[in-house]
């Protein structure tokens, strides 16, 4: 019996995407958020099998992987999947994917593209104003009922005129620069190379950038080269009146050293959305009003997740139709892979 309502493919004919772990967005949007009539998911997290056995059992089916920051794609996983041709991740960062192995095998990688850039840049500005103008701390002061008895709140610091140093002038860093320009900040940056079309001052290394900045904003990717890039020397160069904002990845900062300085008052303040061992956060910072912390929220808006849905599904559908990917990562251009 045939009918117009019958699907063109039966479920078993559809190409398979491996989903390693329930993506965080599923908790908000439900299990079918990334569904498409053109492919099906093999959900490793629903199987009682340990991952290696699960992968061996489906080795000939898996053509693509849906990854997220919480679901790393290791070289071991990749080696068990001979037909793997694509990894799509829901996160801005790529440090959870073994890009060398993908590059070696010719496996394509698609990321979030510039999807999160505006939201991340908004969040940077929010954290920075919060630290300088003490908004979270003032909110607590009012909500604890202290205003009537303890009077005026301590003065904050002006944003206008601040020398802002951006570490990593990619798509997020550029959006940050554009926004802070409108507040009368002067913008400098450090990047792998000087950008020809950009009106901001370039510093060839982070140490020089920090020495010439009141505010240091971390917007670069986490790689072997940027691990603990913001170390004791850079924090010293930023100085005791400096402010640091990190919405990139925790391990880019030597967190132990930053915490030591914050506790000792050797730096003015910090806005931290990411941490070296998140969700574990240094408890020494809990009592500090000049530290604003958030639980990795810079990309987390309703709007960005709706857009993410279109990009993730679109990338898989393009791959299975032999069309160009929507947001491919140019692995050949990643400096630590292109040797």
Q: Active-site residues: which are they?
A: 249, 278, 296
- Asked whether position 118 contacts its own copies by CB under 8 A, the answer is yes
DSSP letters spanning 208-252: HHHHT-SEEEE-SPP-TTTTT-B-HHHHHHH-TT-EEEE-S-GGG
- Asked whether position 304 contacts its own copies by CB under 8 A, the answer is yes
| Candidate list 97, 293, 318, 331; residue touching its own copies; CB under 8 A | 293
3-state secondary structure of 334: coil
Number of residues in contact with its own copies, rule: CB under 8 A? Answer: 63
- Asked whether position 232 contacts its own copies by CB under 8 A, the answer is no
Beta carbon nearer to its own copies, 27 or 49 = 27
Residues 309-328 binding its own copies (CB under 8 A) are none
| Residue 272, both tokens | 């931290």
Beta carbon nearer to its own copies, 171 or 304 = 304
Measured distance CA(208)–CA(329) in Å, rounded: 30
- Asked whether position 240 contacts its own copies by CB under 8 A, the answer is no
Task: Return the biggest CA–CA distance within the chain.
Answer: 80
- Asked whether position 239 contacts its own copies by CB under 8 A, the answer is no
Question: Residue 13 gets which letter from DSSP?
Answer: G
Measured distance CA(5)–CA(3) in Å, rounded: 5
| Residue 311, both tokens | 């990009």
The sign of the dihedral angle between the CA atoms of 129, 134, 140, 144 is: negative
Beta carbon nearer to its own copies, 279 or 324 = 279
| Candidate list 83, 104, 158, 336; residue touching its own copies; CB under 8 A | 158
Enumerate binding residues for its own copies (CB under 8 A).
24, 27-28, 118-119, 122-123, 125-127, 129-130, 133-136, 138-145, 147-148, 151-161, 178-179, 181-184, 278-281, 283, 285-287, 292-297, 300-305
């Amino acid at each position: 019996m045939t009918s117009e309502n019958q699907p063109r493919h039966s479920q078993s004919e559809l190409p398979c995407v491996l989903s390693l772990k329930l993506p965080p967005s599923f908790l908000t949007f439900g299990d079918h958020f990334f569904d498409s009539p053109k492919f099906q998911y093999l959900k490793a997290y629903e199987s009682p099998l340990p991952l290696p056995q699960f992968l061996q059992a489906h080795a000939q089916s898996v053509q693509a992987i849906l990854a997220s920051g919480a679901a790393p794609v290791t070289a071991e996983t990749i080696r068990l999947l001979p037909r793997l041709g694509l990894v799509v991740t829901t996160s801005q960062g790529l440090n959870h994917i073994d890009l060398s192995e993908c590059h070696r095998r010719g496996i394509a990688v698609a990321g979030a593209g510039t999807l999160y850039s505006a939201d991340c840049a908004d969040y940077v500005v929010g954290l920075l104003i919060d630290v300088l103008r003490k908004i979270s701390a003032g909110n607590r002061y009012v909500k604890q009922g202290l205003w009537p008895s303890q009077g005026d709140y301590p003065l904050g610091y002006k944003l206008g005129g601040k020398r802002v140093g951006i570490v990593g002038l990619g798509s997020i860093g550029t959006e940050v620069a554009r926004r802070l320009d409108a507040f009368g900040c002067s913008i400098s940056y450090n990047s792998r190379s000087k950008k020809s079309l950009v009106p901001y001052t370039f510093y060839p290394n982070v140490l020089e950038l920090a020495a010439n900045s009141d505010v240091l904003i971390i917007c670069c990717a986490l790689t072997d080269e940027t691990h603990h890039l913001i170390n004791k020397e850079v924090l010293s160069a930023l100085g005791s009146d400096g402010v640091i904002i990190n919405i990139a990845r925790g391990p880019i900062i030597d967190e132990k050293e930053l915490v030591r300085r914050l506790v000792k008052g050797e730096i003015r303040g910090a806005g931290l959305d990411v941490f070296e061992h998140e969700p574990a956060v240094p408890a020494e910072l809990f009592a500090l009003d000049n530290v604003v912390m958030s639980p990795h929220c810079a990309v987390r808006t309703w709007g960005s997740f709706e857009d993410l849905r279109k990009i993730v599904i679109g990338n898989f559908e393009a791959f299975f139709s032999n069309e160009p990917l929507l947001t491919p990562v140019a692995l050949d251009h990643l400096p630590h892979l292109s040797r």
